[in-house]
Amino acid sequence: MKQGYIKTAEEIAIIRQGGKILAEVLKQLLSAAQAGVKTIELDLLAEKLIRQSGGLPAFKNYADSPSETPFPTTICASVNDQVVHTPAGDYALKSGDILSIDIGMKYPATDDGLYTDMAKTKAIGSVPQLTRKLLKVTAKSLELGIAQVKPGNTIGDISRAIQKYVEDNGFSIVRQLVGHGVGYAVHEDPRVPNFYDPVTANFKLEEGMVIAIEPMVNIGDYRIEVLDDDWTIVTSDGSLSAHFEHTVAVVKGGHKVLTAL
Ligand code: MG
């Protein structure tokens, strides 16, 4: 497998093709996500759409190390106080829930295929105003993070922009999980924290880098826990959590969102 921070223009063009497909798949999943629908039904639709498009699910069977339980499904379908990494299953959505779908794809489905990663949170039916604010603030914090992406800026510029906006709005940003490089693998260096972290703050962005920026925002405390399935992450205080993510390339003079429609 190839490694390195910098992707060629040709590689970025392929990641963009994959990202466009992935954005279309996620759009269809979100419109299918209605009260009464089980998350496993969304998962089956996701895998079908990805394979029909010539890609492969990136999360299904994913493990950080051979000793880890492989992730069982194509999408992460995290509801309410679930932050991320929830396997799809028999849970049936109900009005008042919020659902975060995180989805990754390898495209094309060959050994040298390239990876994209994105996420969005949707309200199912009607939700209280504070919940609507959580979704709006999280989506906007991603935009503000992306706006900092250009050659010469640092990862700290992204982190600071996201953290400030989220905290100014009275919410907290998850710290134990962070964004990441993406392309040759679904998770690559560098780490892209959504809060100011001195370890990565001075890392300079360069033309050709591709990163996934993914703020996870809680209404309450920033702390999180892993459930017994070894995957599902929940907020420690049970408060609601939202997640928005795009794969973004650093290009001359700025950035390009590769997972836009
Ligand atoms: Mg990611």
**What value does the mean pLDDT of the chain take?**
97
Q: What confidence category does residue 227 fall into, taking pLDDT thresholds of 50, 70 and 90?
A: very high
Q: Over 90: is that where the pLDDT of 2 sits?
A: no
Average pLDDT of span 220-244: 97
Q: How far is the CA of 175 from the centre of ligand 1 (A)?
A: 14
Neighbours of ion ligand 1 (CB under 5 A): 117, 212, 214
Q: How far is the CA of 190 from the centre of ligand 1 (A)?
A: 12
The phi and psi torsions of 46 (rounded to 5 degrees) equal -60, -50
Average pLDDT of span 170-187: 98
Q: How far is the CA of 103 from the centre of ligand 1 (A)?
A: 8
Give the per-residue pLDDT at 228.
95
Tell me which DSSP letter residue 104 carries. Answer: E
Q: How far is the CA of 37 from the centre of ligand 1 (A)?
A: 25
Q: How far is the CA of 187 from the centre of ligand 1 (A)?
A: 7
Q: Over 90: is that where the pLDDT of 90 sits?
A: yes
Provide the residue type at 84 as one letter: V
Give the per-residue pLDDT at 65.
84
Which pLDDT tens digit goes with each residue over 15-36? 999 999 999 999 999 999 999 9
> Of the candidates 11, 104, 118, 10, which has an alpha carbon nearest to the alpha carbon of residue 60?
104
Q: How far is the CA of 126 from the centre of ligand 1 (A)?
A: 28
pTM of the model: 0.97
Contact present, 153 and 207 (Cβ < 8 Å): no
Average pLDDT of span 35-62: 98
Query: What percentage of the chain reaches a pLDDT higher than 70?
Result: 100
Contact present, 46 and 25 (Cβ < 8 Å): yes
What is the distance between the alpha carbons of residues 28 and 45, in angstroms, rounded to a whole number? 9
Provide the residue type at 145 as one letter: G
Which fold does the domain 9-257 belong to in CATH? Creatine Amidinohydrolase (3.90.230)
